[in-house]
Amino acid sequence: QQQVKQSPQSLIVQKGGISIINCAYENTAFDYFPWYQQFPGKGPALLIAIRPDVSEKKEGRFTISFNKSAKQFSLHIMDSQPGDSATYFCAASIGTYKYIFGTGTRLKVLA
């Protein structure tokens, strides 16, 4: 029940396309869902986050869609660019407790 399942494991997208990464969870007590972006040789960095009281949050080309009834949330990267090539992790937490991370998605955007 504490797991966060992430898919796909890897993704290749053409420049200008839409990248979509999905996560699913079981524990309905989770109330905070961040996404982290990791470039090679670097630690993950917070990209965008959402709470379950909203269904969508957008920051620039990055959007989180949240489906509370399905217990799923996804990251959409619009107009994907080669600079977006990175590993993306979803996560979930209960209040200010520790995060549970997904297994990661390696995104490659072709020029």
CB of 63 to other proteins, least distance (A): 18
CB of 40 to other proteins, least distance (A): 10
CB of 48 to other proteins, least distance (A): 10
Q: Which is nearer to other proteins, 31 or 71 (CB)?
A: 31
Q: Which is nearer to other proteins, 77 or 102 (CB)?
A: 102
> Residues interacting with other proteins, by CB under 8 A?
6, 9, 32, 34, 36, 41-46, 49, 89, 93, 96, 98-99, 101-104
- Secondary structure of the chain in HEC code, one letter for each residue: CCCEEEECCEEEEECCCCEEEEEEECCCCCCEEEEEEECCCCCCEEEEEECCCCCEEEECCEEEEEECCCCEEEEEECCCCHHHCEEEEEEEECCCCCCEECCCEEEEEEC
Q: Which is nearer to other proteins, 15 or 42 (CB)?
A: 42
